[in-house]
Amino acid sequence: MTAKAADLQSLERDLSARIAAASDDASLEAIRVEALGKQGSVSALMKTLGSMSPDERKQFGPKLNALKESVSEAILAKKAAFAEAALEAQLKSEALDVTLPPVRPRVGTIHPVSQVMEELARIFGEMGFTVEEGPDIETDFNNFTALNFPSKHPAREMHDTFFMNATDEAGARKVLRTHTSPVQVRTMLKQKPPIRMICMGRTYRCDSDSTHTPMFHQIEGLVIDETSSMADLKSVLIAAIKAYFEVDDVRLRFRPHHFPFTEPSAEVDVGCDRSGGQIRIGAGADWLEILGSGMVHPNVLRNCGIDPEKYQGYAFGMGIDRLAMLKYGMNDLRAFFDADVRWLKHYGFSPYLLPGLAAGVG
Ligand code: DAH
């Protein structure tokens, strides 16, 4: 074997060992430049071909070409192996376990009052009621006069009602509405019967203890058409209260009462059990007052431009905060409005479980 052939063999061994040992693309590229680049060891040998005798060239040329080819093939093969390993590693790092449960972002909780409003909107919505709104600052006419309150009625006195300094067009001081009933007036003034609506919102009275706050929430209901009767009022309220408390044997007691805006009027009590210091709706021999109701007074219809000879209907009003306390077991109303995040975490509801046909009402 000629010296050149021996050189060639050792160069081939050396290069293939180094290619095999290369650990990344960069070191592979360095080997390629060292061997096959312009100044590379294989290229240098190629240059010697010109000065060889024809015999030498015949013997040496093909070997050199074969070396060049096998080195570049080995480098390409190694590069392909690196690329495959990199892809493998990337796929592994991006692997998704699609069998894991979805991760829900934390977005706080829904306040019990909002939750109950949502429940009531669904319940009455399914019974064909639309939802109306009115402002917190009301005229004396909408809050009292149109609702047939006599001018000397105690609710008009300073210790019950928050009066604003501003006066309305009639020169009367505006009020923070003391109930949601003025929305009855607003609805009748803007819409002809048939009317079938509820309204929910904030109401205000000068009052504060563990079951009263100066601001609280009410729901109002109003149905006006040519035939609706006390019997319809009863069946709607019984169905709504059963759906709300999710108890089948809810008992309601309609007790004669007086409101200026209804005649006849009834307060409604729900059957409960008070033993053990807790109120349980459904079972037991006790009663708890939860709402006021009645047939809309002809004077109210007249005040709102509706002919009482042709139209009649019923109305009802309930405290939303009280309904929330009874269903979800809170006993101090003041905590509702403290904005204490620990209380909200404990009593709040998941925004992902808003009431509806699929999730159930509560
Ligand atoms: N507005 C009354 C209150 O705040 C509740 C009420 C009673 C509303 C009878 C009504 C009703 O619509 O018919 O005490």
- How high is the pLDDT of residue 287? 93
Mutate to test the pocket of ligand 1, among 175, 293, 300, 323 (most ligand atoms within 8 A of CB): 293
Q: Which residue has the higher pLDDT, 71 or 227?
A: 227
Cβ of 317 less than 6 Å from ligand 1: yes
Between the CA of 319 and the centroid of ligand 1 the distance, in Å, is: 10
Instruction: Give dist(CA 25, CA 83) in Å, integer.
Output: 9
CB 75 within 8 A of CB 31: yes
C-alpha distances (whole Å) from 137 to each of 87, 163, 174 are: 67, 9, 7
Ligand 1 pocket, residue 179 CB under 6 Å: yes
168 — pLDDT class (breaks 50, 70, 90): confident
CA distances from 196 to 52, 127, 177, 310 (A): 110, 9, 22, 16
Could you write out the DSSP letters of every residue in 280-292? EESSSSEEEEEEE
Kindly indicate the confidence band of residue 332, based on its pLDDT and cuts at 50, 70 and 90. Answer: confident
Encoded tokens for 108: 């706080």
- β-strand pairing of 137-138 with 215-225: unpaired
* Domain locations in the chain as residue ranges: 3-94, 112-347
Residue 362 pLDDT exceeds 50: no
Tell me the β-bridge partners of 292: 267, 317
More confident call, 3 vs 73 = 73
Please state which of the ranges 104-118, 187-201, 282-296 shows the lowest mean pLDDT.
104-118
pLDDT band, very low/low/confident/very high, at 357 (cuts 50, 70, 90):
low
Query: Residue 353 pLDDT more than 80?
Result: no
106 DSSP 8-state letter: P
Atom of ligand 1 nearest to the CA of 318: 5
Question: Which residue puts its alpha carbon closest to atom 8 of ligand 1?
Answer: 317
For residue 154, cis peptide bond before it (omega within 30 degrees of 0)? no
- Does residue 295 have its Cβ closer than 6 Å to ligand 1? no
User: Do residues 195 and 224 lie in contact, with contact meaning Cβ atoms separated by under 8 Å?
Assistant: yes
Whether 315 is in the pocket of ligand 1, judged by its Cβ within 6 Å, is: yes
Question: Tell me: the pLDDT tens digits for 338-348?
Answer: 989 999 999 99
The whole-number pLDDT of residue 103 equals 79
Average pLDDT of the segment spanning 280-285: 86
Q: What is the pLDDT of residue 1?
A: 45
CB 159 within 8 A of CB 208: no
Average pLDDT over residues 85-93: 93
**Ramachandran category for residue 114: left, alpha or beta (phi over 0 → left; psi -120 to 50 → alpha):** alpha
Residue 198, ligand 1, Cβ within 6 A = no
- Taking residues 213-221, what's their average pLDDT? 96
d(CA 277, CA 287): 14
Say if residues 165 and 301 touch (Cβ distance below 8 Å).
Answer: no
What local confidence, expressed as pLDDT, does residue 105 receive? 74
Average pLDDT in the 69-97 region?
Answer: 91
Q: Give the residue whose CA is nearest to atom 2 of ligand 1.
A: 317
pLDDT averaged over every residue in the chain: 90
Overall average pLDDT of the 303-310 stretch: 98
Fold of the 112-347 domain: BirA Bifunctional Protein; domain 2 (3.30.930)
Q: Residue 360 has what pLDDT?
A: 58
Q: What gap in Å lies between CA 19 and CA 15, rounded to an integer?
A: 6
Contact 143 CB / ligand 1 (< 6 Å):
no
For ligand 1, whether the C-beta of 262 sits within 6 Å is yes
73 C-alpha to center of ligand 1: Å? 92
- Span 174-185, mean pLDDT? 96
Cβ of residue 67 lying under 6 Å from some atom of ligand 1: no
Q: Which residue has the tokens 């089948």?
A: 248
Residue 361 has pLDDT above 60, yes or no: no
Is residue 205 within 8 A of residue 178, CB to CB? The reply is: yes
- The answer, yes or no, to whether residue 193 has pLDDT greater than 60, is yes
- Please provide residue 134's backbone torsions phi and psi, each rounded to the nearest 5 degrees: -150, 165
The atom number, within ligand 1, closest to the CA of 179 reads 4
